[in-house]
Amino acid sequence: MAIEQTLSIIKPDAVQRNLEGEILARIHRAGFRIVAIKSLRLTKTEAEGFYAVHRGKGFFEDLTTFMSSGKVIVMVLEADGAILKWRDTMGATNPANAAPGTIRRDLAESIQNNCVHGSDAPETAAFEIGYFFSGHELL
């Protein structure tokens, strides 16, 4: 596999429940390098821009309201096959369907309050990383 980068977000539910340290520990144990990291609070407009691909879907309003409800931690993770590796580390979107030992299975409360986000493809990762980080932040 090739070295690639992916975006990761520790979502408001996990930050509110003080799970940042546990999630960061799992990221390190899984062998990722954190290239860039910051804590921020998305405005509703910023959340809508980030999730624009889902505009018009039934869950869009709830998702963007949730993602702008509190602090998040956004990160660029790097590893061999980082996109798939991070998705495997997170587990399925629905925690009930996630594999044992994954972040979502162990820590998430629901499909919406599922603790973490990850890019699903190289094109998505490029957009998502650029949404939060400028080039000089990735050096």
Q: Just list the catalytic residues.
A: 117
d(CA 76, CA 12): 18
Q: Classify 56 as helix, strand or coil.
A: coil
Rounded distance, CA 124 to CA 6, Å?
A: 9
CA distances from 39 to 8, 21, 75, 95, 128 (A): 12, 13, 9, 24, 15
